[in-house]
């Protein structure tokens, strides 16, 4: 599980995939306080441009956090920054794959990764980059 | 509830504040799959540089999402992008205030906001900027 | 966010709307201990007069509490009393709108509100009145 | 489990008791959308008259619903109305006992009950009355 700064190479990839449920969205709403009608109000959401309730963008971002903290670099990673572009909606029942790919080994143990979430049709729903401090030793 | 693009002015602020509990962190871990030991393993976490379990950075980011989607601009907002810098750890029991402040009205209904999370001591734990499309009419 | 006793006028309205999910009902059952078959036993519930599992009446009442505590009067409100008449069942997937309307400003900072929950067809599912102490200053 | 209208006598009592946790309050907040600072914001709550975060009044009311729907009259009961007076705050860790006592057998299978919630010190935190239709046969 996980790689140290030493072991990491540009091009390394990690991923995590999960089907997003209504339960995920409702619990996420409660945790964050984001009970925006787009997420929890079917009547309003179905008359919006998205035609139905959608997941919080930060929920998909959480899957990226899972990849970085669990797999690449993995446990011991310190999360410094993340850029996020919300490209397409995620609906209840969509299966989202978060992928992180190392694009640069920086100084002081830092690593830059391209971070992307795809839905089950291969469409990019979330795009961006992360910078982390990789662990000195893998766990 | 909320403001339309028309009503929004540079300098407008919205905020949401919540005490982060162990329950929040554990549910967030389950939803996102991010069961990094830093969040859910007290034994490992207390021997790390943070000296204890910390909340997911994306959980604090979720509070920003709550401000944007619930208060400013509010319901009807479309989230385009978010930059996040994780500045300091959030511990169980910390009370986090997410603040969004309009810093630019852009073309095509877009609005740029400075987004910041503070802990109960006024320390910045998360910093960044969001770009959203504000609703044409407030809800 | 919210109004003080001074700012409140008879006729003021606040509302909150949410689609009720199976998850909501099951978590509510666990929290309250109300695992009545009407709520969590599909086999029994479908042979009852309601023809299926229904939400707890107190779950809809909780949406009223959300309006009073979050929007009108809002943060700082002290809840004194609530009368509830359960008028019609709420099913999984129903979108419930809780509305509070100020009907009387009483002495000692007290306010009486008509509190009503409607489903997506505009049918009243819950009716009643609340008395609260409004905050001296809005938050 | 439970009694039919026929079997019920004035003076019959049912009860349910539970320790209220931070988890209960946070989940309840998410389900109902009531993230009032009194419930989820320790910084604000500790400077309020209650000196700390308190449970939602409707959470205690849910324990009454549990007694009526699970024990007296029990499964098959139809909840018609409930009056609630919130008498004292419920804190994280308080053990709340909800008691229902039959005070009147009415026409058409209806039963009136006195409904009271006590904390671990015997203090009344919630008081009121319920009217239900008791089941024709006990389940």
Put simply, the answer to whether B65 touches A56 (Cβ < 8 Å) is yes
For residue A22, the chain C residues in CB contact (below 8 A) are 21-23
- How much is the mean pLDDT over chain A? 96
State the pLDDT at residue A124: 98
ipTM more than 0.85?
yes
Instruction: State the nearest Cα–Cα gap between D40 and chain B, in angstroms.
Output: 6
- How much is the mean pLDDT over chain C? 96
Cα–Cα nearest to C84, from B62, D130, B51, A38: D130
pLDDT mean over C89-102: 98
- Reading the block at residue B100, the tokens are 């969004």
Is the pLDDT at A35 greater than 90? The verdict is: yes
Distances, alpha carbon C24 to alpha carbons A45, C93, D32, D129, in Å: 18, 10, 9, 26
Preferred mutation among A29, A34, A43, A48 to probe C, highest tally of C CBs within 10 A:
A43
The pLDDT tens digits of the residues spanning B20-29 come to 999 999 999 9
Interface of A with B (CB under 8 A): 16, 18, 24, 27-28, 31-39, 44, 48-49, 56-59, 61-63, 65-66, 69-70, 75-86, 139
What whole-number distance in Å separates Cα of residue C20 and Cα of residue A42?
A: 9
Phi, psi of B128 (to 5 degrees): 165, -170
Could you give the 3-state DSSP secondary structure of residue A129? strand
Put simply, the answer to whether B32 touches A59 (Cβ < 8 Å) is yes
How many Cβ pairs within 8 Å bridge chains A and D?
15
The pLDDT tens digits of the residues spanning C20-53 come to 999 999 999 999 999 999 999 999 999 999 999 9
Cα–Cα nearest to D61, from D85, D37, D32, D93: D85
Domains of chain C, CATH where assigned: 13-133 (3.10.129.10)
Please name the member of D27, D31, D35 whose beta carbon is closest to the beta carbon of A33: D35
**Tokens 């949410």 found at:** C18
Please name the member of D31, D49, D70 whose beta carbon is closest to the beta carbon of C28: D31
- C-beta separation of A90 from A61 below 8 A: no
pLDDT mean over C108-135: 98
Put simply, the answer to whether A42 touches C17 (Cβ < 8 Å) is no
- Half-sphere exposure of residue D22: CA atoms within 13 angstroms, side-chain side: 16
**B25: Cβ contacts below 8 Å, ≥ 6 apart:** B39, B40, B53, B55, B56, B59, B92
pLDDT mean over C99-127: 98
- E strand spans, chain A: 13-19, 78-86, 95-105, 110-118, 124-133
- Reading the block at residue A112, the tokens are 């830059």
Q: How many residues make up chain C in this entry?
A: 139
Please name the member of B17, B22, B24 whose beta carbon is closest to the beta carbon of D41: B17
Put simply, the answer to whether C82 touches D84 (Cβ < 8 Å) is yes
The pLDDT tens digits of the residues spanning A66-96 come to 999 999 999 999 999 999 999 999 999 999 9
B19, β-bridge pairs = B95
State the pLDDT at residue A139: 61
Question: Residues B133, B29, A99, CA angle at the centre, nearest 5°?
Answer: 65
Instruction: State the nearest Cα–Cα gap between A53 and chain C, in angstroms.
Output: 10
State the pLDDT at residue D1: 76
DSSP H/E element including D15? strand D13-19
Interface of D with A (CB under 8 A): 26-27, 29-31, 33, 35, 40
What is the edge-to-edge ordering of all strands in the sheet holding D124-133?
A: C13-19, C95-105, C110-118, C124-133, C78-86, D78-86, D124-133, D110-118, D95-105, D13-19
Is the pLDDT at A138 greater than 70? The verdict is: no
What whole-number distance in Å separates Cα of residue D74 and Cα of residue D76?
A: 6
* Helix intervals (H) in chain A: 22-32, 37-40, 42-45, 57-70
Angle at which helices C57-70 and C22-32 pack, to 10 degrees? 90
- C-beta separation of C74 from C46 below 8 A: no
pLDDT band, very low/low/confident/very high, at C137 (cuts 50, 70, 90): confident
Put simply, the answer to whether C34 touches D77 (Cβ < 8 Å) is no
The pLDDT tens digits of the residues spanning A95-119 come to 999 999 999 999 999 999 999 999 9
Q: Strand D78-86 to strand D95-105: parallel, antiparallel, or no bridges (unpaired)?
A: unpaired
For residue A26, the chain D residues in CB contact (below 8 A) are 30-31
* Helix intervals (H) in chain D: 22-32, 37-40, 42-46, 57-70
> How is residue A135 annotated by DSSP?
P
- C-beta separation of B98 from B60 below 8 A: yes
| Model confidence, pTM | 0.96
- pLDDT exceeding 70 applies to what percent of chain C? 99
List per-residue pLDDT tens for chain D, 139 residues long: 799 999 999 999 999 999 999 999 999 999 999 999 999 999 999 999 999 999 999 999 999 999 999 999 999 999 999 999 999 999 999 999 999 999 999 999 999 999 999 999 999 999 999 999 999 976 6
State the pLDDT at residue D138: 67
Instruction: State the nearest Cα–Cα gap between C118 and chain D, in angstroms.
Output: 15
**B111: Cβ contacts below 8 Å, ≥ 6 apart:** B5, B8, B73, B102, B104, B105, B131, B132, B133, B134
What whole-number distance in Å separates Cα of residue B61 and Cα of residue A84?
A: 11
Q: What region, left, alpha or beta, does residue B25 occupy, with left being phi > 0 and alpha being psi -120 to 50 degrees?
A: alpha
pLDDT mean over C83-102: 98
Put simply, the answer to whether C24 touches A27 (Cβ < 8 Å) is no
For residue A22, the chain D residues in CB contact (below 8 A) are none
**A116: Cβ contacts below 8 Å, ≥ 6 apart:** A98, A99, A124, A126, A127, A128
Measured between CA atoms, the residue of chain B closest to residue A45 is B76
Please name the member of C22, C23, C95 whose beta carbon is closest to the beta carbon of A41: C95
């Amino acid at each position: 599980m996980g790689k140290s700064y030493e072991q990491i190479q540009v091009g390394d990839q990690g991923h995590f995939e999960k089907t997003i449920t209504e339960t995920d969205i409702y619990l996420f709403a409660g945790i964050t306080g984001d009970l925006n009608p787009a997420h929890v109000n079917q009547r309003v959401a179905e008359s919006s441009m998205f035609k139905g309730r959608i997941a919080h963008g930060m929920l998909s971002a959480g899957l990226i956090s899972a990849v970085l903290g669990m797999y690449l670099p993995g446990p011991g990673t310190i999360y410094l920054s993340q850029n996020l572009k919300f490209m397409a909606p995620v609906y209840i029942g969509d299966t989202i794959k978060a992928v992180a790919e190392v694009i640069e080994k920086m100084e002081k143990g830092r690593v830059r990764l391209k971070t992307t979430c795809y839905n089950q049709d291969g469409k990019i729903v979330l795009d961006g980059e992360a910078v982390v401090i990789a662990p000195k030793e893998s766990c």
